């Protein structure tokens, strides 16, 4: 399924509050939608998988440990790693849309996004799948924090991004570079700190930078927002920041 490419994040104004319980555009993916999910077993990925199944979509999930995945009976499972090109290709083949909530399981330099995202892009090109919605991070770009108070920007960029978030941020920057050069219909959803709390169904969205004082958002709201993007061309070819 191909969507036209819109670079809407370069237009102003881009700041708004939306309800994540509703589709932003009114468009929806069809009931026969086939979705490939990377990172389905992760904290955000399992929420995404539940939502896709609830929407009636056919889900293919790439899993390293399918026995531990509670929804394994309800999805088509490809067993393998996102670092294996054949497994990645089997996962995306036949999909209408790819969702990724991949990430390293630790704060160390595992290079998961650095190595997996290029394989996903290549597999999508080879199999004619054009749409990908990937979970990124609000720290991925230098401009990300330009709406934040100066002390917060300094603290994040000088301290946090150089210490315990060094490798996750490096991975997210790599993901950004790969997706933005991919030529695919990509969207990178860029939240601040994720929580496991319930959805508030009301999030701030900005195409230019993390909304001011946007410190957190729940994985539930992120999953809802990513689901909305399946039927929404607005953020194709763009990063989009979301926060409470």
Ligand X SMILES: NC(=O)c1ccc[n+]([C@@H]2O[C@H](COP(=O)([O-])OP(=O)(O)OC[C@H]3O[C@@H](n4cnc5c(N)ncnc54)[C@H](OP(=O)(O)O)[C@@H]3O)[C@@H](O)[C@H]2O)c1
Helix (H) or strand (E) holding 90: helix 85-92
Among 48, 178, 179, 191, binds ligand X (CB under 6 A): 191
Among 13, 32, 54, 65, binds ligand X (CB under 6 A): 65
Dist CA 82 CA 211 (whole Å): 32
Residues 83-142, interacting with ligand X (CB under 6 A): 83, 101-103, 105, 112, 135, 137
Q: 209, 243 in Cβ contact below 8 A?
A: no
Three-state DSSP state, 131? strand
Residue with tokens 């595992």: 110
Nearer to ligand X, 77 or 101 (CB): 101
Least distance to ligand X from the beta carbon of 47, Å? 8
User: Does residue number 72 form part of the binding site for ligand X (CB under 6 A)?
Assistant: no
User: Does residue number 81 form part of the binding site for ligand X (CB under 6 A)?
Assistant: yes
Question: Residue 69 has which token pair?
Answer: 């995945």
Among 194, 200, 212, 233, binds ligand X (CB under 6 A): 194
Backbone angles phi, psi at 219, to 5 degrees: -60, -30
Among 193, 197, 201, 202, binds ligand X (CB under 6 A): 193
Determine the interface stretch with ligand X among 3-11, 27-35, 81-89, 153-161 (rule: CB under 6 A): 81-89
Helices and strands of the chain, counted as H and E runs: 6, 11
User: Does residue number 218 form part of the binding site for ligand X (CB under 6 A)?
Assistant: no
User: Does residue number 67 form part of the binding site for ligand X (CB under 6 A)?
Assistant: no
Three-state DSSP state, 137? coil
Determine the interface stretch with ligand X among 20-28, 122-130, 144-152, 187-195 (rule: CB under 6 A): 187-195
CB neighbours of 222 closer than 8 A, spacing ≥ 6?
A: 44, 47, 135, 189, 191, 194, 242
Least distance to ligand X from the beta carbon of 2, Å? 26
Q: In Å, what is the CA distance from 59 to each residue of 20, 73, 108, 165, 193?
A: 21, 11, 30, 31, 27
Among 9, 20, 44, 130, binds ligand X (CB under 6 A): 44
Residues within the interface to ligand X (CB under 6 A): 39, 41-45, 62, 64-65, 81-83, 101-103, 105, 112, 135, 137, 168, 172, 191, 193-194, 219
């Amino acid at each position: 399924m191909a969507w036209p490419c819109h670079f809407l994040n370069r237009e102003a104004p881009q700041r708004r509050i939306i309800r994540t319980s509703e589709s932003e555009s009114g468009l929806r993916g069809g009931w026969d939608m086939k979705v490939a999910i990377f990172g389905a077993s992760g904290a955000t990925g399992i929420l995404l998988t539940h939502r896709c199944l609830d929407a009636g979509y056919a889900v293919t999930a790439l899993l390293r440990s399918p026995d531990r995945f509670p929804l394994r009976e309800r999805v088509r499972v490809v067993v393998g790693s996102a670092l294996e090109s054949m497994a990645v290709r089997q996962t995306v083949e036949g999909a209408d849309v790819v969702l990724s909530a991949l990430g390293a399981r630790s704060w160390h330099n595992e290079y998961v996004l650095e190595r997996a995202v290029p394989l996903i892009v290549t597999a999508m090109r080879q199999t004619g799948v054009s749409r990908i919605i990937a979970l990124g991070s609000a720290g991925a770009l230098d401009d990300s924090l330009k709406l934040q108070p100066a002390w917060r920007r300094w603290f994040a960029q000088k301290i946090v991004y150089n210490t315990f978030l060094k490798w996750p941020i490096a991975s997210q920057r790599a993901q950004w570079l790969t997706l933005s050069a991919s030529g695919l219909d990509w969207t990178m959803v860029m939240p601040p700190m994720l929580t496991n709390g319930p959805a508030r169904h009301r999030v701030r969205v900005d195409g230019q930078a993390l909304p001011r004082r946007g410190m957190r958002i729940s994985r539930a709201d992120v999953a809802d927002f990513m689901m909305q993007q399946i039927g929404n061309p607005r953020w194709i070819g763009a990063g989009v920041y979301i926060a409470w």
